[in-house]
């Protein structure tokens, strides 16, 4: 994480890819626990640049959340939610986008009951819900729900 601090884009991008590879090949719970201390940094909302370390943590967390146990995610929520609230108000688009993606993954992993979005601003909730609707697992569920049952005879006559 230290090599993402105040580094050029190429180095940050390479470090994030290396971190993602590391996360894919190791114990997800341990990686998640090691990332959590990096989420407690102060965020300057007026700074248009993203705190690169935090941004890298959020981007990595996005790919890690679905592999971490729901119990570990629930335990981390009280410390993560204030960060998400602040990061969603950040001037940097990258910071807001990374936060939304982590929240979407948390929502998919935990469900509506565990991840309460009521404390977020209305526009933030709508944005998060749009991306939840675009998530591949949700889209697949919606498509499957829209499939018509072929066993029920149609009331329409067949015209040749």
pLDDT tens sequence across 44-99: 666 666 567 888 889 889 989 989 999 999 999 999 999 999 899 988 888 899 99
High-pLDDT (> 90) share of the chain, % = 29
* pTM for this model (two decimals): 0.77
- Residue found under tokens 């675009």: 134
CA distances, 14 to each of 7, 18, 52, 56, 74 (Å)? 11, 6, 13, 11, 30
Distance CA 16, CA 10 (A): 10
The three-class DSSP label of residue 154 is coil
């Amino acid at each position: 994480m230290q090599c993402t601090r105040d580094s050029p884009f190429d180095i940050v991008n390479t470090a994030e890819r290396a971190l993602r590879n590391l996360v894919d090949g190791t114990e997800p719970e341990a990686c998640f626990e090691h990332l959590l201390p990096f989420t407690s940094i102060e965020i300057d909302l007026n700074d248009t640049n993203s705190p690169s370390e935090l941004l890298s943590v959020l981007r990595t967390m996005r790919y890690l959340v679905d592999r971490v146990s729901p119990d570990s995610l629930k335990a981390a929520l009280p410390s993560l939610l204030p960060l998400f609230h602040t990061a969603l108000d950040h001037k940097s688009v990258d910071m807001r986008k990374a936060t939304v993606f982590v929240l979407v993954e948390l929502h998919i992993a935990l469900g509506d009951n565990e991840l309460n979005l009521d404390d977020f601003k209305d526009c933030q909730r709508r944005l998060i819900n749009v991306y939840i609707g675009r998530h591949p697992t949700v889209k697949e569920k919606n498509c499957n729900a829209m499939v018509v049952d072929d066993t029920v005879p149609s009331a329409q006559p067949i015209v040749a």
